[in-house]
Amino acid sequence: MSNRTPLMAGNWKMNLDHLEANHLLQGLAMALSDAGHDYTECEVLVIPPFTDIRSVQTVVEADSLDIKYGAQDVSIHDNGAYTGEISTAMLTKLGCTYVVMGHSERREYHNESDELVGAKARKVLDAGMTPILCCGEALEVRKAGTHVDFVLGQIRAALAGWSAEEVAKIVIAYEPIWAIGTGETATAADAQEVCGAIRQALRSDYGDATADATRILYGGSAKPANIKELMAQADIDGALVGGASLKADSFAQMAGFYA
């Protein structure tokens, strides 16, 4: 058993306006409370679209919820003429504590490189928030059998020059692209193979303390039916959940995997 606190993170993607976000958040809080959720056993994080964050903050503060919230992306710039972008300062001001970067949808639709993803992670860490660095291979890479090297390459390129202490503060999310939103989950053994290889690489690159501290999530059609098996794997410390996080009961059930 590790000292790492599991993290159940719900990526709402481009779903829910601010009223719907409030409704889901209140439903989630209620479902977790009804289940007697212990937040020390599993941290719960929601990652709404930017336009919902202020409303989420208001509900979290008004009801003193233990649910954390964060953002799906961030700019590498501080401020200025960057139309459409959102800075780390704007997010910290709203109480965000986590920011996702390098999600495969951003890599694919916005051509985000490992270097840009790494720069975003750096910006987020420097602003006092926790980066959730996403990585994962496409189906062709998996079929070619080079998925472990591919994923380690993404992580090493993004974190080039980082210290062991810095790496220990981030969360890595392994999300095989072929399993995202497809209903096709990697088997628990498939997920563990890559998450275990990531931890092993952290061990050889940064040492035991960092490898043992860094949380590694699995993402890709994670749902109540498979979360227990995924969480039983030695190197999986939580999940980044898309579809199933949009239903309060499903997501609460996933956060209660330990019960």
* Residues with active-site annotation: 103, 175
Using Cβ positions, the residue closest to ligand PEP within the complex turns out to be 242
Considering only 87-95, 159-167, 175-183, 198-206, which stretch makes contact with ligand PEP by CB under 6 A? 175-183
Scanning residues 200 to 259, which ones bind ligand PEP (CB under 6 A)? 219-222, 240-244
Any residues with CB less than 8 A from the CB of 193 and at least 6 apart, and which?
148
Q: Minimum distance between the CB of residue 237 and ligand PEP, rounded to whole angstroms? A: 15
Q: What is the 3-state secondary structure (H, E, C) of 59-87?
A: HHHHCCCCCEEEECCCCCCCCCCCCCCCC
Helix intervals (H) in 139-216: 139-144, 147-158, 164-167, 188-206, 208-213
Length of the chain: 259
Q: Which is nearer to ligand PEP, 121 or 211 (CB)?
A: 121
Scanning residues 9 to 38, which ones bind ligand PEP (CB under 6 A)? 11
> Can residue 117 be called a binding residue for ligand PEP (CB under 6 A)?
no
Any residues with CB less than 8 A from the CB of 43 and at least 6 apart, and which?
5, 6, 7, 8, 68, 238
Q: Minimum distance between the CB of residue 67 and ligand PEP, rounded to whole angstroms? A: 18
Strands 68-71 and 98-101: parallel
Q: How far is CA 150 from the centre of its chain?
A: 19
The residues that touch ligand PEP, with contacts defined as CB under 6 A, are: 11, 175, 180-181, 219-222, 240-244
